[in-house]
Structure 1
Amino acid sequence: MSTFEQAAADVKNLKAKPSDQEMLQLYGLYKVGTGEDFSAAKQPGAFDFAGKYKYAEWKKRVEEGLTAEEAQEQYIKLVDELKEKYGF
């Protein structure tokens, strides 16, 4: 298991749930880090508010030009910070 995969597993075992903003950051970094194709993603419907926020976060990361490797590094760093903040 890679460090990125381990971080993805670890985030599910935090003692407290991260904030909505932290969850969005995790989502965007994870999507880019796994190499999912943003251009193939469908924009969420008008009343899918959670989907819109997630889509916007993913789009922001793509537009920043993050590579999958950079996104994985940022994801691992964020998970480490969350583990320290929320307990593991």
Structure 2
Amino acid sequence: MDFHTACEKAKAFTKKPSDSEFLEFYGLYKQSTIGDVNIPAPGALDLKNKAKWDAWNKHKGLSQDAAQAAYIATYEKYAPKYA
């Protein structure tokens, strides 16, 4: 399976992943498509965007290829639960 297929299949999950699982996907997706975080961290009171920024920044330094492989592995881990 390639990265883009895993993305499409993850979007088509029949059940919604938990917030922490969603953030796992989000951080790896952003690292895969953009690379290291390139925006300033949101303020501490902006909890949702701060959590998303932290999830992305957690993968800083990971190559885009490695991030894509990790995204596919994450999809395969959760697919039986949500697909």
TM bucket, shorter chain: 0.7 to 0.9
2:21 corresponds to which residue? 22
Q: CA RMSD in A?
A: 1.6
Q: Structure 1: where are the runs of 5+ without partners?
A: none
Given the alignment of the two structures, is residue 55 of structure 1 paired with residue 62 of structure 2, yes or no? no
Alpha-carbon distance between aligned partners in 1 of 2:69 and 2:35, rounded to the nearest angstrom: 16
2:69 corresponds to which residue? 73
1:44 corresponds to which residue? 42
TM-score, normalised relative to structure 2 = 0.88
The 8 Å contact of residues 35 and 63 in structure 2, kept in 1 or not, is answered as no
Higher helix share: 1
Q: Structure 2: where are the runs of 5+ without partners?
A: none
Specify the code of the residue in structure 1 equivalent to 2:22.
Answer: M
**Displacement, 1:55?**
0.5
Alpha-carbon distance between aligned partners in 2 of 1:12 and 1:59, rounded to the nearest angstrom: 22
Aligned residues: 83
